[in-house]
Amino acid sequence: MKRSSSTPFAVSLGATPVRPKVLVVEDNDFIMKIYKAILQKAGCRLIEARTTTEAQIVLKHERPDLIIMDQKLPDGSGIDATRLIRDHADLKNTPVIVVTDGSAASDEQARAVGCSACISKPIRVSAFGQLVRHHLDARPKSGSPADVCQVW
């Protein structure tokens, strides 16, 4: 396996680089653009959802390497959605980073339902990058695209 020079997260498994898939569940267009710019620059394949319902539909067809979940969404709580993800056999080990309002109660709720990490708004790009890198690097190495990360 060798790292693809054009995409920091991508690993070449033969001729075609494999890019990690990241599902971002965020209803704010401006914040979604920030996530998109950071993750695409890092070589990730971004899957977007604006609501918990959209995320559920996506997760019927996709198996992301990482999920970024906003705490407050138009049709429900990202924390409740994380609870459902953890109950799904195929997704229970997928890392979920919940973006909270920064209160201790929110972070505690997120961890209680099994989120992998919490980060609070406003997002610091360097902290976000480190958190994403940590969770993608921690994925199983058997064919996983995330064993090389040097973007932030």
pTM: 0.81
Cis amide bond preceding 122, omega within 30:
yes
Predicted local confidence at residue 27, as pLDDT: 96
How would residue 10 be classed by pLDDT, with cut points 50, 70 and 90? low
Residue 66 in this model has a pLDDT that exceeds 90: yes
Q: Would you state the pLDDT for residue 17?
A: 62
Label residue 2 by pLDDT band (50, 70, 90). Answer: very low
The pLDDT tens digits for 122-141 are: 889 989 989 999 999 887 65
State the average pLDDT for the chain.
83
pLDDT of residue 26: 97
Is a pLDDT exceeding 80 seen at residue 149?
A: no
> What is the CA angle 121-99-92, rounded to 5?
170
Token digits for 20? 């990690």
**H/E element, 106:** helix 104-112
- Which residues neighbour 39 within 8 Å (Cβ) at sequence distance 6 or greater? 22, 24, 46, 132
- 18 vs 118, which has greater pLDDT? 118
Express each pLDDT in 21-50 by its tens digit: 999 999 999 999 999 999 998 889 999 999
* 100-124: average pLDDT: 89
Handedness of CA 133, 137, 138, 139 (dihedral sign): positive
Helix axis angle for 125-137 and 29-41, nearest 10°, is: 60
Yes or no: say if 89 and 108 are a contact pair by the CB < 8 Å rule.
no
| Spatial contact of 79 and 113, defined as CB atoms under 8 Å apart | yes
Average pLDDT over residues 96-105: 90
pLDDT for position 95: 95
**What residue ranges define each of the domains in the chain, with the CATH number in brackets?**
20-137 (3.40.50.2300)
- Checking if the pLDDT of 71 tops 50, the result is yes
